[in-house]
Chain A
Amino acid sequence: MLRFALLRTLSAIPTLLLVIVVAFIMVHAAPGGPFADERVLPPGTASNLAAAYHLDESLPHQFWRYLSGLARGDLGPSYHYRDYTVAELIGNAVPVSLLLGALSMVLALLIGGAAGIAAALRRNTWFDRGITAIAMTGISIPVFVVAPLFVLIFAVWLQWLPASWSGGVGVQRLVLPVIALALPQVAYIARLVRGSLIEVLSSDFIRTARAQGLSTSSILRYHALKPALMPLVSYLGPAAAAVLTGAVVVESIFGIPGLGQLFLQSGLNRDYTLVLGIVIFYAVLVILLNLLVDLAYGVLDPRIRGR
């Protein structure tokens, strides 16, 4: 197990380096420097600015400087918010995004898992078909359609909940964003769990358990549920990535001052260091989550470790 964990951890490093290199090159190959579209500066000021931000060095030099800063957790200064470092800006935005993302994932796992299990146990009934159809709809309709519809129905027409982050307090303002963000994941998870539980329930060892006279509930609890939920564990990585992507939209629709909105804003401001910093932050997060999922899978399913 230790060898497996070590190998998996080491194999995440090249992936991470790849992202950093690609993102760095993209940002630096972009036409126009960070100060290009401001008013014309006197030549002395322009070169001083470039020197202050080390833009006069060669690209490999700049990359090395960036990488060694990164190792110390230093992502450089923001080009747009002049008094802040990128790390500070990210640090300020992360907590609210984390809350939003974590609540959505928990909600998706609970509701999606329950719906999937219920549908699998009532296979081919109207209930199952209903869940399947709803899940298909949930998968197909993107977050940026669901979220505005929620605002329209629950905030504008019914006036039950605030339409934006600044228009409410406490739990109230979390409800719509969390549900909108969770919905596609609820649908995916319901489909995934339904399919895998049906497959497990039709396998030989369950038939044996049934032949021995075990009740459906103890078959589920002791035999069927664990293997049926294994695919769910490996879906957690992609799910987290999807929630991060969805959060960009949800945060911008509800005006939540999180990482997603900061990312969009910094893109529109052409704040290259900030964009680069956030992309790398996202990449680290996603790669780390995938690593954790892999390790959890190794713990839960010993067959994987040998590979």
Chain B
Amino acid sequence: MTGIAESGRRRLHESRTVRGSAAVLAIIALAALLGPLISPHDYRDTNFDARLLPPALADLRLFGSDDLGRDLFVRTMSGTRVTLLVAVVASFVSLVIGVAYGAIAGYAGGTIDAAMMRLVDALYALPFIFLVILLMVAFERNFLLIFVAIGAINWLDMARIVRGQTLALKEREFVDAARLIGVSPGVILFRHITPNLLGIVVVYLTLTIPQAVLVESFLSFLGLGVQEPATSLGALVNNGVAHLERTPWLLLLPATLLAVMLLAFNFLGDGLRDVLDPRQHPQ
């Protein structure tokens, strides 16, 4: 057991993909956290004498300003904060639902398992994003609702993977031993099996976060996500599109940041999966 963990750790250390993408994400997160504190500007302050300024070092307007004279650097960083926050919380929601659902289905087995997984299959066929848009239209873009809605879409993959792992885990001796000394099924499931799912769950969580980033920015791009004056990367891209011809940096800067962030998340998830779970990914 320690041998596997050790070799995993060594491979983790050697994987340039994992280290590189983790570093990129750390830099983005740090900039998003500290940027608004360092800059003299506030993301809400409009200034009609400083509209659509190009990026410049003077006055620390690194990204220029938008059509209302708001500092684009601070807005981009604060938008990154919002996007990351929504994505992490939404992924956590999908993690809780997915792990609970998958572990129960896998541990129960038999008819219960079959019925629960049939439901997952049925839900896979649904165009969820349209239901989420409907939800956003009907309920006034509630911020909390975004978390729940995105989490509610993304739990299906997690449930499938966790179920598969649970099926294998419940045949192991330590589960038999626990059952033998009279531990109740609920305790076995959540005290003994769930902790063993941690590795695989972490790997898939790093792949769930970019999906949630994508959904959040998609909704914000359509004007259904975060509402003004608060912002997110999708909302900034949307505003950039409106000023595409004369001030392209309003689009290019937030769009590049979003693309780099998503790329780094996907590389991190892929890299972690290669390192920690080689079976899932033979190539």
Contacts and interface: CB of A to CB of B under 8 A. Distances in A.
B102 interface: no
Tell me whether chain B's interface is mostly helix, strand or loop, or mixed.
helix
B139 A145 contact: no
A77 interface: no
Given A15-B122, A149-B255, A264-B222, A140 B266 contact: yes
A27 B125 contact: no
How extensive is the interface on chain B, given as a class?
Answer: 35 or more
A209 interface: no
Contacts of B217: 142, 144
B122 A14 contact: yes
Interface centre among B138, B234, B252, B259 (most CB of A within 10 A): B138
B244 interface: yes
A142 B217 CA distance: 9
Interface in B237-252: 237-238, 240-241, 244-245, 248, 251-252
A26 B131 contact: yes
Interface in A17-57: 18-19, 22-23, 26-27, 29-31
Interface centre among B214, B221, B248 (most CB of A within 10 A): B221
Contact of A140 (B122, B244, B263): B263
Given A140-B262, A283-B127, A249 B140 contact: no
B82 interface: no
Interface residues of A, number: 52
B280 to A, nearest CB: 11
Contact of A237 (B125, B255, B265): B125
A253 B133 CA distance: 17
B283 A195 contact: yes
A244 B133 contact: no
B147 interface: no
Contact of B218 (A30, A142, A198, A270): A142
Contacts of A275: 134, 137
Given A136-B266, A198-B283, A253-B241, A144 B130 contact: no
B229 interface: no
Contact of A263 (B133, B223, B245): B133
Given A199-B282, A279-B130, A142 B262 contact: yes
A23 B125 contact: no
Contacts of A14: 122
A127 interface: no
B138 A263 contact: no
B255 A30 contact: no
Interface of A: 11-12, 14-15, 18-19, 22-23, 26-27, 29-31, 136-137, 139-142, 144-145, 148-149, 151-152, 156, 195, 198-199, 237, 241, 244-245, 248-249, 252-253, 263-264, 267-268, 270, 272, 275-276, 278-279, 282-283, 286-287, 290
Given A19-B126, A272-B138, 9 more contacts: A31-B139, A144-B234, A148-B244, A152-B252, A156-B244, A264-B222, A275-B137, A283-B127, A283-B130
23 contacts: A11-B122, A12-B125, A15-B122, A19-B126, A26-B138, A31-B140, A136-B267, A139-B266, A140-B210, A140-B259, A141-B262, A144-B221, A145-B258, A149-B251, A152-B244, A198-B283, A245-B130, A263-B130, A278-B130, A282-B127, A283-B130, A287-B126, A290-B125
